Amino acid sequence: MINRLKQKHKLLPLALVMMCVVAVIGGMWAYAAMTAKEEKRNTFQIGNLETDIVEVFDPEKGIELDKPVQKEVAVKNVGSNPQFVRVMVHPTIEHADGTVMPSTIGKVIHLDISNDWLAGGDGYYYYKDKLAPNAKTPDLFKTVKLDSGLSAEYKDAKLELQLKVEAVGTTKHTYRDTWWRGDNPTTGDLGTINTLLTSKAD
């Protein structure tokens, strides 16, 4: 099943949000519901960006702990301008009694992040290249897996996985001004991403 969420907007950056809800039923994790919403932000540069979130997810297959389930997430540029894109993956796990439980990626939830993306250490994954018009990124990840060491307190909890995609134009330093408020990082994960995107910018 492919679900698409598209926001058309003439300002940068373009932000899209998709939320997927999964519930625990009898010790098995099974798809429960899906909702989607759009998020708009003020921007600094006029452009023509249109972006789709492309998702492949089979809700009919329940999964056990430590067994990956197919969930492919990519971004498609359906606008007329090239883009740089980044994606935030924000999981939330809530117990049936309303208690919010730990849901750290890499500890509780495992994603097989593609080598075509870089983690920025700021909650976002950055696509390593320009995204040309009508092109689609390689999948950010293809599967989601729940850690084998989850305790019994996670039983009957609900997992909500929110994906937020932001796209900006590829003019030199636009991504810095829009995403990093003009900062020019030179070290760490963002320093690596900054160097890479600078080499790709127009």
Which domain covers residue 159, as residue numbers? 2-200
Give this prediction's pTM: 0.76
Query: 16 or 199: whose pLDDT is higher?
Result: 199
Q: What is the pLDDT of residues 44-53, one digit of tens each?
A: 233 445 667 7
* Mean pLDDT estimate for the chain: 75
How many domains are contained in the chain?
1
Coil, strand or helix at 201: coil
pLDDT given at position 56: 73
For 45-102, how does the pLDDT look when each residue is reduced to its tens digit (9 = 90+)?
A: 334 456 677 777 665 444 568 888 888 889 999 888 999 999 998 888 888 788 898 9
> Burial code of 44-80, b = ≥16 C-beta within 10 A, e = fewer?
eeebebbbbbbbebeeeebbeeeeebebebbbbbebe
Instruction: Give residue-wise pLDDT tens across range 105-150.
Output: 999 989 999 999 999 999 999 999 999 999 999 999 998 888 888 8
- Residue 196: per-residue pLDDT: 97
